[in-house]
Structure 1
Amino acid sequence: LGKFITKGETREKAFSQMIETLNRTAISGPATNLQFLKALLQHPLIEQSAVTTAFCETHTNELISASENAKENVPFQLIIAAYLFHKFLTEEPHSVNPWTAIGFWNVLNETELYLSGISYNVPFSLLSPRFLKSGNKPLEKNIPKDATLFKFDWNGENFIAGAKRTSSDSVKICTEEYSETLIINDTEPEKTGIFLQGIEFFVENQELIENNQNHSHNETQNDSMENNLIVSHLHGKITDIQTTPGQIINKGETVLIIESMKSEIHVLAPKTAKVKSIGVKVGEQVQENKPLITLEKI
């Protein structure tokens, strides 16, 4: 059993505080009456104080129906965003970073996941913080400057989200329309419970799928490694070079950064080697397959 007590300067504020408390409550496992209580608090007659002690008895079916429908009305894109951030876009333990898991040539990644028993392929990629300065006022207003910014496609729609970890088990997700804190429950290896508005949803399958665009680069990538060349696999502008001729670089280390489609792409060393020469400079526009850095054996 649990008991919540909230207070406010007005009845409306106290009710609002109680609904917010119920939304932030996460109970996994047994069935609860959280949604029933929310439906009760949001009923027009309750808000008007036009009730008697027999209200729940006379409105039972209506309240149960409202509580059951609550799960269908949540913004599911926030659940997808929280899952992507938690599993792929942070360096938390047991998470997978797509830039190191797949390789430096990837611009767009894709994962197949299951939400409420339905399978979705969700492409996603990081965005540069400078994207917030592109004139999108709702994004600038809602997304904190220190949030991780990314875009993803889900259910035929495109979304841009900012994510920030607020505790070890909670993430704040912000979009143009919403700003919500979601609680994450990683109790099972391949199933993640995500609470939104007091409702638990399960997301399964965290296997990354290489974007079709990447397959066309496999042959080029293999050839470039054999020729000791690091080449560009996308169109973009060189914004930073993090190595110099003669320097020893380790496999997986960032050697330069390319800005493409408002995303910052970290180009990683394909192997441990010595930098022989650098064929580009900061500010230069590069095309696909442009040689960037020549390597030599140590």
Structure 2
Amino acid sequence: MKKILIANRGEIAVRIIRTAKKMQISTVLIYAPQDADAAYLKEADETVLLDGQSLNETYLNIGSIIAAAKATHADAIHPGYGFLSENAAFASACRDEGIIFIGPTPEAMEAMSNKIAARKTAQAAGVPVTPGITGTIPELLAQYPSIGFPLLIKAAAGGGGKGMRVVQQEPELKDALEATAREAKNYFGDDTVYIEKYIEAPRHVEVQVVGDQQGHVIHLFDRECSLQRRHQKIIEEAPSPTLTPEVREKICNAGVQLAAAIGYQSAGTLEFLVDPDLSFYFLEMNTRIQVEHPVTELTTGIDIVEQQIRIARGEPLSLQQKDIHQKGHAIECRIYAEDPEQQFLPSPGKITFYKEPGGEGIRIDGMLLQSDATVTGDFDPMIAKLITWGTNREAARTKMTEALQQYFIYGIKNNLTFLRGLLQHPDFIENRISTKYIDQHLQVLLHDLNEQQKNDPLVPLAAALVFSLKQGQHSSSVWNQIGYWRLVPQITFTMDDKNFILSLTKIADAFVCFEYNGQSIQAQLEDAGQHQFRIHIQEQVYPVYIFKWLPGVYMIRYNGVDYEVKRNDILHIVDEQLPPPASTVAKQGGITAPMPGKVIKVAVTEGTAVKKGDLLVIVEAMKMENNILSPADGVADGVFVKEGDKVDTTAVLVHIK
């Protein structure tokens, strides 16, 4: 194997390239036009642009990817995860063309990557599964009573939380089946769905296996991925803090037995639902590298991508089960471009500032994002993975909370603060969670997080004041430092929509004295480098991060919370240029999209009578469907979009009278 074409994008492409370089194997990376400016493309030895804009034309186009491999003389293809990674037709096409597919055989994929076939295989192997049915939408509507509510609808060819919906009542079922089928068709090219019983308050525990072409299968122990939103994992850890040693041995052996039953080759993951009584049920097998594989790598010391490549080259496993041990504890947080306060609404856009944490026990699997990079809305909203290792769970958790405080993403909404809040919550610390925990406790979690962020405003205010004055020390005039003339120099700052007046009493080289809330305050700012400072206030020291956005506009991070502080006596414009005029506001009754995206369904026509909460339009962004509902009773007297239109947040979709 001399050259690997990577049929994927983003952080997993970078991850594969890193191991390929270690093994001295050349790499080719395909990319869609939307990724043309991505920094990670430079990591590959060669790149190939795929024609077209949609997923079916690019990352799901088997013919184009095979042609790219041939054109660049790549003798192997690594599919990563998602896209075509579990597509048996793709694996077969590689084999037919004499290209090594770095993954399992098409036969193993057919047995396990289709969720319906996987359930049958597990049942034949004696592994317990939850009751379920499959069929056409009319058949499922007729047969669902045999399962009973609540139901879980899944895409048969799905994975990664895509194409999954929970239905509690019969009136919701038909729309949910149609939406799941539509999403499955769009993302996986297969609209087959099935229904299974929804288990209340389960844990999600999975087993990592690797098998070679000589018939040897071993496990690399377990991971727990119970903290999820929209059925998609956001925090994973290894080992599972829930399993007893006895249950761990049983579930890992079950994973090996099931993989061996289908002659599995390469790395794969067996996913299980675990009841409160620690009974486990086979959920599905992911016949590919898993997003959360780094926590297994950090706790076993085994490079899973390297194992995939060696197995694909025909090498027997050099590892034996008795030689594999878990050491310490690892936690992974998925970093998403999304807004937790808006039901995790995707948040594509331009990143104004980006800085990753670093240090011992911290790993970043990312796409080499930089400040001024654009996160497109065409793909999954995950932009990086942050992984920490510690000697035990508490050490890994503490390291993660510290790393999240040193992670900076400005310009787009993201889940950094939400993740930190979860990790600091007593329910996580004491392991009182389930796969439904976030969905059931979201509002409480957000409220608790907002309460935690109510720090004393003095620290960010003092930091902004001293920083702004130090910035002005190189100015030719003292008035550039303290603004327009006053008898007693006073500076008004705005923070959290509140005004704060600070009265200066002394400005020295080393410190600044001012009055705040009737108190005399002395503050000194010590530069620690890399935007890090220590603000000394009344002999107390507080670590802060300070960023200057515009003249007089500062972002202060203190105690893990970001504060935008504006100094009101400085004009907040750049290079004397006036800001652009505001976008035209839609007329009263105009319904706009909450994010840029693509219209995939228009549910009303002109003249349709609607009630509050009725579906108007579905806009897809970052592979998630977002329902736009009517805000009030009325009539749709204007429909301005059609299916397939791309819209931004200023375009009026529907007008309600």
TM-score, normalised by the number of residues in structure 1: 0.51
Name the SS for the 2:408 alignment partner.
coil
Question: Structure 1 residues 187 and 94 mapped into 2: Cα distance closer, same or farther (>3 Å)?
Answer: farther
How far the C-alpha of 1:126 sits from its partner, in A, is: 4.8
| SS of aligned partner of 2:409 | coil
Alignment partners' CA distance in 2, 1:95 and 1:4: 45
User: What RMSD in Å do the two structures reach over aligned CA positions?
Assistant: 3.5
Could you say if the C-alpha distance between residues 84 and 99 of structure 1 is closer, same or farther in structure 2, counting changes exceeding 3 Å? same
Q: 1:26 aligns with which of 400, 408, 420?
A: 408
C-alpha distance 178-44 of structure 1, shift in aligned 2 (>3 A): farther
Give how far 1:8 is off: 2.8
Give the aligned partner of residue 154 of structure 1: 516
Partner of 2:468: 87
1:76, distance to aligned residue in structure 2 (A): 1.5
Secondary structure, aligned partner of 1:64? helix
Indicate how the Cα distance of structure 1 residues 168 and 45 shifts in structure 2: closer, same or farther if over 3 A, else same: closer
Aligned twin of 1:197: 559
Aligned length: 186
* Corresponding position of 1:12: 394
| Cα distance in 2, alignment partners of residues 101 and 52 from structure 1 | 54
For residues 60 and 171 of structure 1, the distance between their equivalents in structure 2, rounded to whole angstroms, comes to 34
Q: Contact 2:389–2:396 (CA<8 Å) still a contact in 1? A: yes
Q: 1:163 to 1:10 in 2, by over 3 A?
A: farther
- In 1, Cα distance between equivalents of 2:433 and 2:511: 46
Deviation at 1:88, TM superposition (A): 0.8
Q: Distance in 2 between matches of 1:101 and 1:51?
A: 52
Distance 1:60 1:22, change over 3 A: same
Give the letter for the 1:13 counterpart.
A
Could you tell me how far apart the structure 2 residues matched to 1:148 and 1:37 are?
38
Residue type matched to 2:499 in 1?
S
Mapped contact 1:182–1:195 kept (Cα < 8 A): yes
1:241-288 deviation digits (Å, cap 9, x = unpaired): xxxxxxxxxxxxxxxxxxxxxxxxxxxxxxxxxxxxxxxxxxxxxxxx
Structure 1 residue 194: Cα displacement: 2.1
Structure 1 residue aligned with 2:418:
36
1:60 aligned partner, one-letter code: L
Q: Deviations over 1:75-109 (max 9, x none)?
A: 3111111111111135666697579879xxx9x74
Corresponding residue of 2:534 = 172
CA shift in 2, pair 1:4/1:179, >3 Å: farther
Instruction: Rate the CA distance shift 1:172–1:96 in 2: closer, same or farther, 3 A.
Output: farther
Equivalent residues of 2:473, 2:481 under 8 A apart: no
Instruction: Kindly indicate whether residue 484 of structure 2 is the aligned counterpart of residue 122 of structure 1.
Output: no
CA contact (8 A) 2:533 2:544 kept: yes
Q: Could you say which structure has the greater relative contact order, defined with CA pairs below 8 angstroms and 6 or more residues apart?
A: 1
Contact 1:89 1:97 (C-alpha < 8 Å) held by counterparts = no
Q: CA deviation at 1:33?
A: 1.5
- CA change 1:31–1:157 in 2 (3 A) is farther
Q: How many percent identity over aligned positions?
A: 21
Pair 7,168 (structure 1): closer, same or farther in 2 beyond 3 Å: closer
Indicate if the aligned counterparts of 1:90 and 1:97 stay in contact, CA closer than 8 A: no
2:482–2:489 CA contact under 8 A, matched in 1? no
Moved beyond 4 Å, runs of 4+: 90-102, 125-128
Instruction: Give the letter for the 1:14 counterpart.
Output: A
Cα separation, 1, equivalents of 2:549 and 2:397? 32
Instruction: Determine helix, strand or coil for the equivalent of 2:386.
Output: coil
Partner of 1:181: 543
CA distance in 2: counterparts of 1:109 and 1:174, whole angstroms: 22
1:112 aligns with 2:112: no
Corresponding residue for residue 525 of structure 2: 163
- Between structure 1 and structure 2, the one with the greater Rg is 2
- CA distance, structure 1, for counterparts of residue 515 and residue 490 of structure 2: 9
Q: Are positions 1:58 and 2:440 aligned together? A: yes
Change over 3 Å in CA distance of 1:88–1:63 after alignment to 2? same
Question: Alpha carbons of 1:168 and 1:12: their partners in 2 closer, same or farther (altered >3 Å)?
Answer: closer
Following the alignment from structure 2 to structure 1, what is the Cα–Cα distance between the partners of residues 535 and 460? 9
Structure 2 CA distance, aligned partners of 1:41 and 1:13?
12
Counterparts of 1:154 and 1:182, CA distance in 2: 20
Q: How does 1:128-277 map to 2 (within 5 A)?
A: 148-167=510-529, 169-175=531-537, 179-205=541-567, 207=569
- Map 1:272-287 onto structure 2 (within 5 A): none
Task: Judge conservation of contact 2:546–2:555 (CA < 8 Å) in 1.
Answer: yes
Q: Distance in 1 between matches of 2:481 and 2:452?
A: 39
Distance 1:175 1:30 in 2: 32
Q: Secondary structure at the match of 2:525?
A: strand
Query: Which SS does the other structure have where 2:521 is aligned?
Result: strand
Q: Is the 8 A contact 1:19 1:41 kept in 2?
A: yes
Aligned partner of 1:74 among 452, 455, 463: 455
Structure 1 counterpart of 2:411, which letter? G
Give secondary structure in 1 for the equivalent of 2:410: coil
- Contact kept, 8 Å, 1:127 with 1:150, in 2: the verdict is yes
List alignment gaps of at least 5 residues for structure 1: 129-146, 209-298
Deviations 1:226-248 (A, max 9, x none): xxxxxxxxxxxxxxxxxxxxxxx
Cα distance change on mapping 1:198 and 1:32 into 2, 3 Å:
farther
Q: Secondary structure at the match of 1:6?
A: strand
Length-normalised TM-score, structure 2:
0.25
Offset of 1:41 from its aligned partner? 1.0
Deviation at 1:150, TM superposition (A): 3.3
SS of equivalent to 2:402 = helix
Aligned to 1:290: none
Letter in 1 for 2:548: D
